[in-house]
Amino acid sequence: MSRTLSINNLYSQSFTTLEFDGVYEPVFGSPSDNGAWLIFGSEKNGKTTMALILANYLSQQKKTLYLSAEEGTAEPAFVDACKRSGLEANNRNLHFINYISVDDLSLKLSKRKSASIIFIDNCTVYKDELKGGALKDLLDRHPKKLFIFLAHEERKEPYTAVAKYISKIAKIIIHVEGLACNCYGRIPGGTLTINEDMATLFHGMKSTKTNI
């Protein structure tokens, strides 16, 4: 049963946050470091690249695990994407893994010194395992961890019922289109561009977005 809080109790709570700097700070601010985020977009628009760049950046603060459940870590295209995203071989705080079941993932995260930030790529692979309350159970079992889910897009909406549910509870949503990342939710918000030149070609105009 939840404890009733007075206003003084409410204001005296302490929180842990993620600290962003550079071009990220005006967009992300200092969001809480737990719960769920969502990155979604159509195929070949840059959502994996955005996720890899973000995973690399966040791993400077906390141990990060990237589940490449759809593409797999042995796929040359995925390895090339990691290189293009600037991931360096000496980064010991960022690790990758192929598909594992939700139960195995939860067990792994229960261990001492497990990752604090988990990227799950993507919702389509886990659409059956995370339905029927399983997603909420996963988040409830690991309340101090941050789960960042990737999802495909269909008709401008996150694809699969699980992804749509995540979009309703996510603290931050990043919609990727033509390498432009529209970030919104419980943050100041704004748009970041993965690659200004490529984004300009997609949108057919000079980009005014912030390059990352």
pLDDT in tens, 118-130: 999 999 999 999 9
* Strand partners for 64: 94, 117
Distance CA 114, CA 110 (A): 7
> What pLDDT digit, counting tens, does each position of 145-186 carry?
999 999 999 988 999 999 999 999 999 999 999 889 999 999
For residue 182, cis peptide bond before it (omega within 30 degrees of 0): no
Distance CA 80, CA 97 (A): 16
Domains of the chain: 32-176 (3.40.50.300)
Burial 14-30 (b: 16+ CB within 10 A, else e): eeeebebeeebeebbee
Q: What pLDDT, on the 0 to 100 scale, is given for residue 125?
A: 96
Distance CA 179, CA 41 (A): 10
Which parts of the chain have pLDDT scores under 50?
206
